[in-house]
Amino acid sequence: MSNTLTTMIFEKLPEHLFQSDKVGFCRVPGRVNLIGEHTDYNGFSVLPVTIKKEVHCAFSPRKDNEIHLFNEDPRFQHRSFLNAMDISPSPTGSWDNYIKAGVIALNKKFKVRTFPGFNLFINSTLPIATGLSSSSALVITASLVYLKILGKELGRDISRLELAELMAEGEHFVGTRGGGMDQTVILNGEEGHACKIDFFPIRTSLLPLFNDHVFIICDSTIRAQKTGACLNRYNAGPRLCSLVCALMERFLQREIDEPLQIRRLGDFWTGKLCLTYDEILDYAERAIPKEYIGLKEIASLLNMSTQEIRQLWIGEMEEPEKGFPLRARIRHVITEQRRVELSRDALLANDAYTFGKLMNESHQSCAENYEISIPELDMLTQIARKYGAIGSRLTGAGFGGCTVSLVPCEKIDYFMENIEKQYYQKYLGLSSAQGMFVVETCPSASYIN
Ligand code: GLA
């Protein structure tokens, strides 16, 4: 397979830049998250899989310190920049930012002082802005390429988990405040398995998937550009959650009369406090006196000015008329964490029915408590459940992108035919289905020899 792949990439290369003896190749998969949405940056678990929709690339060293990027997809025009101590970002959403993110993080990690250049050619089967992690796949591609250019070896100079952690942090350069799920599964997933990931520190465990059920992806066709129009909506999640932490930290500190430092919601669950899920929810209700809470009230609870609250946590985020739904946000995170744990048990017990039920509950909580769904995703999941799925939910950051549905093998055709008719044709008015496929898992990102 590798040879065919390299031949395919080779055929499309701008030849003069890629002399055959020095060209390297790699493949980097996308991912689908089965359950555990917006839990990672809160220090809780996720359960994604790697998918056989991949970024393929060829790269070659250059004699100067320029980095030149080419993409087979004409939407992504040739870009170049100088590799240096300070690399400034291109305008938000520009595709070279993902490569810059990977390069900058490795320059820092390895204290690089002479900055080598390279050519990179990308050719991808991974759809973009559909919640299948095309962004992180690009960042990981950059990291694998640049490691080789630096003469560093994955596994010897840096482990896959370390690289994932570094790239998760590094990706903040593009403006999103995501967690580490995508980078970790891309670098550590395995064919035929879901990858349960826990954070701070990152740990992974592989769980075999069901053999009589499949996961099916359906693209809602609504684009959710995480570094574009959805940037602020995405970042609102981490921002409000850290505000919840501050409120709870202050409340708990008074109760237990000891200094506390809470960086994320998961810190209530692990470490010194070791609270149960119910205890965390109970404290949250006591620390946040009502369902919706205004900026002024938050400021007075924290004994700060509203400007300080903006500066420290929420930036320019608009204050909703009813106030911020902080209790609902934490309700989602904690119940979602419980669902991830139960889903892991369901996989181990080969209990697809329970897994499906948890997926449905997850979608409902994403929609009601975290407010990351949209009418198209709600409709798509409803139709999915009506036509054979035992579970269906949005996957990824939300606000558009794809759903993932758990379907018994014998119902695959029935499910797909009906989704095509009821969603793509009837609801969207399209002539045929778009971006609907049965998930095929694959090995984690690798070089191709
Ligand atoms: C994006 C981020 C992830 C995660 C998901 C939501 O994909 O990159 O880290 O937060 O959204 O679960």
Looking at residues 330-339, what average pLDDT do you find? 98
C-alpha pair distances (Å), 103 with each of 187, 340, 445:
17, 33, 17
pLDDT category, 34, cuts 50, 70, 90? very high
Q: How many domains does one find in the chain?
A: 2
C-alpha pair distances (Å), 441 with each of 29, 45, 52:
9, 20, 6
Q: How far, in Å, CA of 35 to CA of 340, rounded? A: 6
Q: Encode pLDDT of 143-201 as tens digits.
A: 999 999 999 999 999 999 999 999 999 999 998 888 999 999 999 999 999 999 999 99
Cross-strand bridge partners of residue 119: 60, 68
Q: Cα of 178 to ligand 1 centre, how many Å?
A: 5
| Domain limit, last residue, from 312, 329, 346 | 329
* Res 17 pLDDT > 80: no
Q: State whether the beta carbon of 40 lies less than 6 angstroms from ligand 1.
A: yes
- Considering the domain architecture, whether residues 126 and 25 belong to the same structural domain is answered as yes
* Res 230 pLDDT > 90: no
pLDDT of residue 235: 87
Looking at residues 360-366, what average pLDDT do you find? 98
Instruction: Please report which residue ranges of 257-393 form alpha helices under DSSP H.
Output: 277-287, 295-301, 306-309, 326-348, 352-368, 375-386
pLDDT of residue 3: 65
Element (H, E) at 33: strand 24-35
Q: Cα of 355 to ligand 1 centre, how many Å?
A: 21
* Domain assignment of residue 390, yes or no: no
What's the predicted TM-score (pTM) here?
A: 0.95
Q: State whether the beta carbon of 178 lies less than 6 angstroms from ligand 1.
A: yes
Categorise residue 388: left if φ over 0, alpha if ψ from -120 to 50, beta otherwise. left
Ligand 1 pocket check: which of 38, 241, 337 to mutate, most ligand atoms within 8 Å of Cβ?
A: 38
Lowest mean pLDDT among 144-153, 167-176, 359-368, 422-431: 167-176
Q: What angle do CA 366, 385, 192 make, to 5 degrees?
A: 80
* Res 227 pLDDT > 70: no
pLDDT category, 1, cuts 50, 70, 90? very low
Residue span of the structural domain in which 177 resides: 2-207+441-448
> Where in the sequence numbering do the catalytic residues fall?
182
Average pLDDT, the chain: 94
pLDDT of residue 4: 73
Q: How far, in Å, CA of 386 to CA of 407, rounded? A: 11
* Res 132 pLDDT > 80: yes
* Res 272 pLDDT > 90: no
* Res 449 pLDDT > 90: no
Element (H, E) at 58: strand 47-61
| Domain limit, last residue, from 268, 301, 329 | 329
Structure tokens at 162: 């370390």
Q: How far, in Å, CA of 165 to CA of 54, rounded? A: 21
Q: State whether the beta carbon of 43 lies less than 6 angstroms from ligand 1.
A: no
- Considering the domain architecture, whether residues 190 and 234 belong to the same structural domain is answered as no
How many CB atoms within 10 Å of residue 233? 16
- Considering the domain architecture, whether residues 160 and 295 belong to the same structural domain is answered as no
pLDDT of residue 175: 84
* Domain assignment of residue 164, yes or no: yes
Q: Encode pLDDT of 305-315 as tens digits.
A: 999 999 999 99
C-alpha pair distances (Å), 397 with each of 50, 305, 371:
16, 31, 11
Q: State whether the beta carbon of 396 lies less than 6 angstroms from ligand 1.
A: yes
Nearest CA to ligand 1 atom 2: 178
Q: Cα of 226 to ligand 1 centre, how many Å?
A: 10
| Domain limit, last residue, from 307, 329, 351 | 329
pLDDT category, 221, cuts 50, 70, 90? very high
- Considering the domain architecture, whether residues 246 and 198 belong to the same structural domain is answered as no
Q: State whether the beta carbon of 313 lies less than 6 angstroms from ligand 1.
A: no
Q: Give percent of the chain with pLDDT exceeding 90.
A: 86
Burial 425-447 (b: 16+ CB within 10 A, else e): eebbeeeebebbbebebbebbbe
Q: State whether the beta carbon of 38 lies less than 6 angstroms from ligand 1.
A: yes
* Domain assignment of residue 429, yes or no: no
Say if residues 188 and 442 touch (Cβ distance below 8 Å).
no
Say if residues 403 and 392 touch (Cβ distance below 8 Å).
yes
Of residues 321 and 9, more confidence is placed in 321
- Determine the straight-line distance between the first and last CA of the chain, rounded to whole angstroms: 11
